[in-house]
Amino acid sequence: MYRVALSAVLAASLGLGACSLNTGGPLATGYNDIDNTGSITPAGASVFSTSTGSVDRTSVDRTSRSGLSGTQVAALTPDKAPKGSFEKAPAGALSDRDYSHTALDAERARDLINQYRRDNGLKPLVLNASLTEAAKEHSRDLAKWDRISHYGSDGSNPWDRVKRAGYKPRLAAENVGTGQVTFTEVLRGWKDSAGHNKNLLLSDAREMGLALVQDPKTEFKSFWTLVIGTSM
């Protein structure tokens, strides 16, 4: 059981985000096979949601740091994430998985994503330093709080983090996963999740950033964030 949860799509124009639940396999998009898809608009009309079993959280609004390991969980600052916008793993749920070789090769991950896009007739993405920084920020924050969410502990959403990293977005999308041992595992879960797959196949996306943070002291162990975008 592990999650890949969360996918968020944001665009400068009015749009819509969706959230779906995937219980068809051992690794949907996050712990407990959760599929979270959200989007946000620069105007701020955001409605996030997640799905866990019978609980459904959905994200609405469309506005539309590489591999790190051994991260220590720092003292927590006041939590500003909206109540009900995140999930945690039960104690020991992933203790039987081996993360000793878990790592991120950003270029290989990019190539796997781009091959999938080419197979679907889409243009490839290029790695972008600012989007990678936004992904790192979120993975670090998720590891610090040991949870999965599109919201940061400071209350930020994906659109906020992309802009904060210096990226001027016309489109931005975010997929998150926790508990996976390899990127191949994460990507398979995203492909199998309607919302996350939609983000992978955004036809007007041009750039991407990807991050992995690991912390053996957490219940989720691994925290993956993919940010896809197109600049102004």
Q: Is 224 helix (H, G, I), strand (E, B) or coil?
A: strand
pLDDT at 153: 85
Residue 126: its pLDDT value, please? 98
**How high is the pLDDT of residue 84?**
66
CA 28 to CA 205: how far, in whole Å?
23
Query: What does residue 58 show for φ and ψ, rounded to 5 degrees?
Result: -125, 145
State residue 82's pLDDT score: 65
DSSP 166-179: T--EEEEEEEEEES
Q: What is the pLDDT of residue 171?
A: 94
Task: Tell how strand 55-56 and strand 169-178 pair up.
Answer: unpaired
| Helix/strand/coil percentages in the chain, nearest 5 | 25, 25, 50
Helices 106-119 and 183-192: crossing angle, nearest 10°?
A: 30
Q: Looking at residue 86, what is its pLDDT?
A: 66
**Is there a contact between 197 and 121 (Cβ–Cβ < 8 Å)?**
no
The whole-number pLDDT of residue 65 equals 30
CA–CA distances in Å: residue 166 to residues 83, 174, 211: 28, 16, 17
Positions of the chain with pLDDT lower than 70, given as ranges? 1-77, 81-82, 84-86
Element at 10 (helix H, strand E): strand 7-11
